[in-house]
């Protein structure tokens, strides 16, 4: 069982530390054939109406387990990431937890009010105004009119649609509608938030605001379950993760190790991860896109491969790529986010080779592309970098979703700041007369 020690100490008033959600051996079966699926639906209703379903733990013709024997608990203030490829059962699990559909085996106990961020703007009617829709939407999410009135102003402010509040929602831009949906959901003040890949709404600034709000809620003891394909955002927010594949629970535990395992599995077997470096096996020729990333690592000032990164020291990010043809205009992008920070939203660093006119020519075989940083400016901590190998800023050869690296120490005092400034102090004994202004 997983216990969040931080959450426990922060919220010592928990009754015996009961989890807010316990999932006990839950399985769910689905059927891909529509006609048959509908028929099974009718069959299930009929057998439930006659007192109970027998053999609900056995598969009928054409059925498969969409979820199988899932066990986990979620405590107050804990954030759990659900990762897995499409069709792994993540959304199904959220739907069972929120009580929309029944499990076929096992049971789920929920202690607390759930707000699903699965459904941004559920029940929005495009003809009605933003004001009317806030009332309808928040009612659906379970708030009384008095409560909605209390929070109305906060919602409008958070969604930043003050001028448009009395215009019909169909005149809103998609970003505005999404912001309004998010604001409605987040201001229902739930105990448990289920978030299903909805944080992709709005521009970067609004996204950062959403993350900040989620962070505040978590400080108040709200528990999260977050579904995302993107391992980076899971790493940012969650302290524990579940890895689902084909409906089965593959791994459950501390977020870094689970994400590691997930990435190992989806980016082919044989990926080797050691400290601050990553190597990938060669792809089968039919899967190749022309050129692919085979290794990521760092070199120090002496051009030697290194595992130690120090803030303020020179460092070179090296990308070994294998090409099966001669290409020109090859470049790469890097986006770096800090893992698990308070201000975790947004990139701390984003560099695009094409912006710097850094286009290279590569020949068949292995080449090493280098990004030389005269001073490593990031503060000590753990980071995740997304790296894309591209050609002519149009075509993408390969991508590494999360290359994680840790900067251990700094060569100067970074405890009071977050930015390393290369500098030089000096005194000049005889300044040029023209520099003195009277």
The footprint of another protein (CB under 8 A) covers 15, 37-38, 40-42, 44-45, 48-49, 51-53, 56, 95-114, 116, 118-119, 122-123, 125, 127-128, 132, 135-136, 139-142, 144-145, 191
Distance CA 66, CA 95 (A): 12
Q: How far is the CB of 182 from another protein (least distance, A)?
A: 14
Comparing CB distances to another protein, the nearer of 110 and 373 is: 110
Comparing CB distances to another protein, the nearer of 14 and 358 is: 14
- Over the range 306-321, which residues count as b (16 or more CB within 10 Å of their CB) and which as e? beebbbbbebbbbbbb
Comparing CB distances to another protein, the nearer of 95 and 212 is: 95
Cβ–Cβ under 8 Å, residues 172 and 201? no
Distance CA 406, CA 234 (A): 17
Q: How far is the CB of 112 from another protein (least distance, A)?
A: 6
Comparing CB distances to another protein, the nearer of 28 and 390 is: 28
Comparing CB distances to another protein, the nearer of 109 and 205 is: 109
Q: How far is the CB of 46 from another protein (least distance, A)?
A: 9
- What the block records as the tokens of 39 is 């028929």
Between helix 174-186 and helix 204-219 the angle, nearest 10°, is: 0
If one counts every other C-beta atom within 10 angstroms of the C-beta of residue 172, the result is: 20
Q: How far is the CB of 130 from another protein (least distance, A)?
A: 13
Q: How far is the CB of 52 from another protein (least distance, A)?
A: 4
Distance CA 352, CA 279 (A): 22
If one counts every other C-beta atom within 10 angstroms of the C-beta of residue 198, the result is: 20
Q: How far is the CB of 251 from another protein (least distance, A)?
A: 24
Within its chain, how far is the Cα of 273 from the centroid? 21
Comparing CB distances to another protein, the nearer of 141 and 235 is: 141
Comparing CB distances to another protein, the nearer of 178 and 251 is: 178
Q: What is the 3-state secondary structure (H, E, C) of 20-55?
A: CEEEEEEEEEEECCHHHHHHHHHHHHHHHHCCCCCC
Q: How far is the CB of 16 from another protein (least distance, A)?
A: 11
Q: How far is the CB of 292 from another protein (least distance, A)?
A: 35
Comparing CB distances to another protein, the nearer of 30 and 332 is: 30
Q: How far is the CB of 127 from another protein (least distance, A)?
A: 5
- What DSSP character marks residue 140? H
Question: What phi and psi values does residue 410 have, to the nearest 5 degrees?
Answer: -125, 155
The end-to-end CA distance of the chain, in Å, is: 73
Helix or strand (DSSP H, E) at 323: strand 315-323
Cβ–Cβ under 8 Å, residues 145 and 158? no
Comparing CB distances to another protein, the nearer of 97 and 278 is: 97
Beta-sheet pairing, 240-245 with 114-117: unpaired
Q: How far is the CB of 145 from another protein (least distance, A)?
A: 6
Q: What is the 3-state secondary structure (H, E, C) of 205-223?
A: HHHHHHHHHHHHHHHCCCE
Comparing CB distances to another protein, the nearer of 140 and 167 is: 140
Q: How far is the CB of 96 from another protein (least distance, A)?
A: 7
Distance CA 40, CA 167 (A): 44
Comparing CB distances to another protein, the nearer of 37 and 355 is: 37
Q: In what order do the strands lie in the sheet with 79-83?
A: 21-31, 63-74, 248-254, 240-245, 79-83, 223-227, 192-196, 114-117
């Amino acid at each position: 069982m997983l216990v969040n020690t931080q959450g426990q100490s922060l919220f010592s008033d928990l009754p015996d530390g009961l989890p807010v959600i316990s999932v006990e051996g839950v399985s769910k079966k689905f059927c891909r054939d529509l006609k048959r699926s509908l028929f099974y639906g009718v069959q299930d209703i009929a057998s439930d109406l006659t007192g109970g379903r027998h053999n609900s733990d056995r598969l009928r013709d054409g059925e498969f387990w969409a979820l199988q024997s899932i066990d986990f608990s979620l405590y107050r203030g804990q954030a759990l990431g659900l990762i897995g490829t499409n069709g792994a059962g993540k959304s199904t699990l959220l739907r069972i937890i929120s009580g929309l559909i029944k499990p076929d085996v096992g049971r789920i106990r929920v202690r607390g009010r759930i707000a699903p961020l699965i459904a941004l703007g559920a029940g929005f009617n495009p003809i009605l105004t933003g004001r009317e829709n806030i009332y309808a939407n928040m009612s659906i999410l379970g708030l009384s009119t008095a409560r909605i009135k209390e929070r109305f102003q906060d919602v409008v402010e958070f969604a930043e649609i003050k001028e448009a509040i009395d215009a019909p929602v169909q005149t809103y831009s998609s970003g505005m509608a999404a912001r309004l949906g998010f604001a409605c959901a987040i201001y229902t003040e739930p105990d448990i938030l289920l978030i299903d890949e909805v944080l992709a709404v709005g521009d970067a600034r609004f996204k950062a605001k959403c993350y900040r709000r989620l962070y505040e809620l978590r400080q108040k003891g709200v528990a999260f379950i977050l579904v995302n394909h993107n391992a980076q955002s899971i790493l940012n927010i969650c302290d524990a993760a579940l890895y689902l594949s084909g409906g089965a629970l593959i791994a459950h535990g501390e977020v870094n190790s689970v994400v590691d395992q997930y990435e190992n599995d989806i980016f082919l077997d044989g990926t080797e991860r050691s400290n601050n470096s990553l190597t990938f096996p060669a792809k089968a020729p039919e899967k190749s896109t022309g050129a692919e990333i085979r290794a990521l690592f760092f070199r120090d000032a002496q051009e030697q491969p290194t595992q130690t990164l120090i803030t303020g020291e020179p460092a070179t990010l090296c990308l070994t790529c294998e090409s099966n043809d001669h290409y020109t205009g090859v470049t790469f992008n890097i986006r770096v986010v800090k893992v698990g920070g308070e201000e975790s939203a947004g990139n701390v660093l984003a560099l695009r080779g094409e912006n710097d006119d850094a286009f290279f020519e590569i020949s068949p075989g292995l080449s090493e592309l280098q990004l030389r940083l005269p001073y490593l400016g990031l503060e000590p901590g753990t980071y995740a970098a997304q790296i894309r190998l591209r050609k002519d800023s149009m075509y993408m050869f390969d991508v590494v979703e999360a290359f994680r690296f840790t900067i251990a120490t700094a060569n100067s005092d970074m405890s009071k700041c977050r930015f390393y400034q290369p500098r030089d102090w000096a005194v000049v004994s005889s300044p040029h007369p023209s520099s003195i202004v009277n």
